[in-house]
Structure 1
Amino acid sequence: MTHSSKTTSRHESDTKVTLKTVPKVRLYVERREEEGHWFVNIGHVTERGRWRTEPHAHPGYGQIIFVRSGNGVMNLEGSSIPFEGPCVLLLPTECVHGLDYENDVDRWVVTIEVSYLAQLYARLHAFIQLWSLPRMIAVPSTTGMASELFDLITRLAQELDAKLFGHVVGAEALLTQMFLLLVRQARLDQPDDGGASGNETRLAERYRELIDQHYRQNLPLQDYASMMGVSVVQLRAACAAATGHSPTKMIHARIITEAKRNLIFGEMAIEQIAFGLGFSDAAYFTRFFRREVGEAPSQFRLTAREQSQRAK
């Protein structure tokens, strides 16, 4: 996979490109000694009147926000998505989001460390698909799901607070039930067995982590495979089984996601964004973006900002 039509590296340029256009909010969740690097945190928030957060991202955490009552608008990667309780806002790690709660809102926030999310993915392939994209999942009050979800969250909070014998296992069971409930409600087009082995799932998730670390560096697939101690053939097979996409497509998707964030939330010129993403040729970046998205970066930026202004 290449980001440029020539071999010149962007690192030959003396110009330093600043890529941090979206605030990265590091959530504080106390790590309990006996739990090592595993943790889940439950927060209950009620706000009177209107309350807003500007677009930001959480490195290292995924979030499930259960809105029991109230309504508002979620700014999701530059798009405005209205929501009304009861509903669930599912936010994967690094997802850029802002929340504008328009009325009194009662919400529960479940924060999950991304390394533990990866462990849960191995239990059911559909969990990977559930967390592959940010989502707003409606929770019809007529089905009893809102009560069931509230019961699971409160029991999870009690399990974590009580710290009784086996509380980690108990919390894992409750969290797994919650994920399964959301998978069923989201009606993902996913067979129950997923078709991927646990090893393939872990390999695909490890590859996704490496993409996040290196997608700007224009590395060939062989380098990624070598970092994981597998062949390119094994890597392709694992990605196809676990995600339905090729390794190259997964890299392209990550680059496009970051490009969109820079175009929507930042003020950098197209050429700066291109260089910052590993492209030595801004024209090639434009062609790449147009092929993947369907329109040029400049047009995408203009359309996204017009939509943002109309939503205010």
Structure 2
Amino acid sequence: MVRAKGEVDFRHFEPTLAARTLQVASAPETLGHLLFVESGKVSREHVAGNDAWQAPCLAFLPGSGPMKLVVEAGSNASLIGLARADIDESKSANGELLCSLLSAEPRGIPVERRHMARLAPLLAGLAREREEENGEARTATEAYVTLILIETCRLVLPDQGRTAEEPGSTNLLFRFRQLVERHFRSQRSIATYAGELGITTDRLHDICRRTTGRAPLQLVHERLTREAALNLERSTRSIQEIADTLGFRDATYFSHFFKRQTGLPPAAYRRRARVAGDEQRGTFTATYADWP
């Protein structure tokens, strides 16, 4: 699927008497999804295992690969798919933090009722504007997304114990992520990345730790793992071919790396992904393109 310019990936789940199951597909440019659970419970079933989030909760979900969500009966939840452009357009001072959280492993953050009470009308407003089909509604949806991202940052920063960043660190992290995106297949050392940024490895490590909670090498490995998973799920390439494409010296080394990151060897991950896909095609399948 491809997102049209100005389109917002959004789905609001009103409380119902029965549980709902849906398959979420991501546009290529999607970094990840924000899941807001106002009441009830939402579960995510995927090839590497299952996750569940109980209200009130905010969850960050990576955008790559198929994702099956189960919304329990009586649950009220919203799902927003975000691309880099959405975050850039919001002009958030903490955009890099959001990008990192959306690109990492799934994680949930408990939300106090008073904070969810501030988010609820914004999510309801976004749902309302999504039903309109005019230029004013598009402007309104973009404004709601910006406000939701602002509130999300307010929730996340206290959770991670962050203080104001020193000048220039956000820009350095952005440049580092750009370099990783360009060179992650070449298995560069962190010292090489730091040298190209004109800083020491210690400084790069400090910036990444303070801003994302993870070391530079973890960020590189997460990007490699994400690309490997996409290849296993969506291509017919052999394990050796995928290993070669991603710069590993042999398939065995790649298999050890992938299992360490995901808990499954590449072949087992691919089998589970295919079984999950077959089961979903035989029962209920829906993508964002299927949603109104």
TM-score (norm: length of structure 2): 0.64
Matching residue of 2:107: 135
**Pairing of 1:85-104 with structure 2 (within 5 A):** 85-94=55-64, 97-101=67-71, 103=73
Paired amino acid for 2:118: E
For the pair shown, the structure with the greater C-alpha radius of gyration is 1
Cα offset for 1:247? Answer: 3.2
**Pairing of 1:134-283 with structure 2 (within 5 A):** 134-139=106-111, 143-154=113-124, 161=137, 172-173=146-147, 175-181=149-155, 184=158, 188=159, 190-193=160-163, 196-219=165-188, 224=193, 230-231=198-199, 233=201, 235-236=204-205, 238-260=207-229, 262=231, 269-283=238-252
Query: What count of residue pairs does the alignment treat as equivalent?
Result: 268
The DSSP-based 3-state class of the residue aligned with 1:149 is: helix
Structure 1 pair 108/243, CA: closer, same or farther in 2 (3 Å)? closer
Instruction: Supply the distance in 2 between the matched residues of 1:99 and 1:150 (Cα, whole angstroms).
Output: 20
Paired amino acid for 1:274: A
Instruction: Supply the distance in 2 between the matched residues of 1:298 and 1:47 (Cα, whole angstroms).
Output: 38
Matching residue of 1:14: none
Matching residue of 1:17: none
Paired amino acid for 2:68: G
Cα offset for 1:150? Answer: 0.4
Structure 1, residues 222-273: CA drift from partner, whole Å, max 9, x if none? Answer: 76567x6535656455435433544334222322343355557776543233
Matching residue of 1:122: 93
Cα offset for 1:193? Answer: 0.7
Structure 1, residues 81-117: CA drift from partner, whole Å, max 9, x if none? Answer: 2345554343344465222335465443334432443
Structure 1 pair 245/64, CA: closer, same or farther in 2 (3 Å)? closer
Structure 2 spans left out of the alignment, 5+ residues? 130-135, 281-292
The DSSP-based 3-state class of the residue aligned with 1:191 is: coil
Q: Is 2:45 the partner of 1:75?
A: yes
Structure 1 spans left out of the alignment, 5+ residues? 1-24, 32-39
Contact 2:48 2:264 in 1 (8 A): no
Q: How big is the alpha-carbon RMSD for the aligned residues of Structure 1 and Structure 2?
A: 4.7
TM-score (norm: length of structure 1): 0.61
Structure 1, residues 260-312: CA drift from partner, whole Å, max 9, x if none? Answer: 5555777654323322322241233234446x44967268639967x979x99
**Pairing of 1:104-115 with structure 2 (within 5 A):** 106-115=76-85
Matching residue of 1:22: none
Percentage of matched positions with identical amino acids: 23
Matching residue of 2:285: none
Q: Is 2:254 the partner of 1:285?
A: yes
Cα offset for 1:74? Answer: 1.1
Cα offset for 1:215? Answer: 1.8
